[in-house]
Chains A and B, each alone.
Chain A
Amino acid sequence: MKEEAGSYRPLSYFQLMEVSLRELLVEKGIVSEAEVQATVEDMRSRGPERGARVVAHAWSDAAFKARLLADGTRACEELGLDVPALRLVVVENTPAVHNVIVCTLCSCYPRMLLGIPPDWYKSRNYRSRVVREPRTVLAEFGLQVPAGVELRVHDSTADMRYMVLPMRPAGTERWGEQQLASIVTRDCMIGVAVPGVR
């Protein structure tokens, strides 16, 4: 049997479980199809904009930055960003320290700030290697961390979620928060890239 694109493949165990559970919840009136659809759409539409806004605000307001580093969750709430069921730890890049985030056990990721994680973040290749040979992996992303800089790998193994606060690049002194946010990419907040001014 052929579908419109590609060949037919039976559902995997987990796909079947998902469909069964969803259909049961709808049948019993616990959620509606429309609610499921709306939640999926909401998750899909999330990108790293929220995280970039947090970074740009921290670059512009030293007192906010101090609060963000002390308690990431509470500082995000100040900006009206709800980070439910999540303890956010923000780690700061400095001239002496570069941070990079991974979840070696699965794919924990600050979704509410950065959206859906990229596929490579969930890959075995990244998860197993960035903890063991981080400088080699970062070089593959095009990022050379100088030998004198301390490289800190953060393995999110339990209840914390991590976001990197990159260094504000030179040449952005007169920029407003919106312009600053435009150079803060997802990869900068994972720690596999650093923001730059073209």
Chain B
Amino acid sequence: MSAARFRPGERVRVLRRYPLGHIRTPYYIRGHTGVIERVCGEFGNPEELAQMRSGEPKQPLYRVRFLQREVWPDYRGAPQDVVEVEIFQHWLEKS
């Protein structure tokens, strides 16, 4: 398993990568910066599990909060609106 590198409140950026395979990081959030809302625990890496492998090492999973107006430049809702996405640690870097 990998230790959790980020704490709630920390700013993180989602990696802008486009690997093939079973990826649980939605396209729309790649490259965007948000704030760790909570650490969800450690879970088998879905990219490995989808290949019938063990999913080890388990990856810390986070809920990351993003401002909608930063994710969608033409967002027409309220400025305080957010979207929260579950993202595995190997998809995050410190911002």
A contacts, CB < 8 Å to B: 87, 89, 104-105, 131-136, 147-160
- B residues 55-95 with Cβ under 8 Å of A? 61, 63, 68, 72, 75-78, 80-88
Give B27-54 as 1s and 0s: 1 = Cβ < 8 Å from A's Cβ atoms: 0100000000000110100100000000
Give, as a whole number of angstroms, the nearest-CB distance from A38 to chain B: 28
Please tell me which one of the listed residues A133, A135, A153, A157 contacts residue B86 in the complex, with CB atoms under 8 A apart. A157
Contact indicator A159/B40 (Cβ below 8 Å): yes
22 contacts between A and B (CB under 8 A): A87-B40, A89-B63, A104-B26, A105-B24, A131-B83, A134-B81, A135-B76, A135-B77, A150-B78, A151-B82, A152-B83, A153-B83, A153-B84, A155-B85, A156-B86, A157-B26, A157-B86, A157-B87, A158-B24, A158-B86, A158-B88, A160-B40
Closest beta carbon of chain B to A152's beta carbon, Å: 5
In the complex, A140→B85 CA distance in Å?
24
CB-CB under 8 A from B26, the residues of chain A are 104-105, 155, 157
A159 touches B25 (CB 8 A): no
Q: Which residues of B are found within 8 Å of A155, using beta-carbon distances?
A: 26, 83-86
A89–B86 CA distance with the chains assembled, in angstroms: 12
Query: Separation in Å of the A148 CB from the closest CB of chain B?
Result: 7
B40: nearest residue on chain A (CB-CB)? A160
B95 nearest CB across to chain A (Å)? 19
B48 CB to nearest chain A CB (Å) = 13
CB contact under 8 A between A160 and B86, given known A87-B41, A104-B26, A104-B28: yes
Which residue on chain B has the smallest CB distance to residue A158?
Answer: B86
- Contact (Cβ within 8 A) B76 A133: yes
Expressed in whole angstroms, the Cα–Cα distance for A74 and B4 within the complex equals 23
Cα–Cα distance between A157 and B86 once the two chains are bound (Å): 6
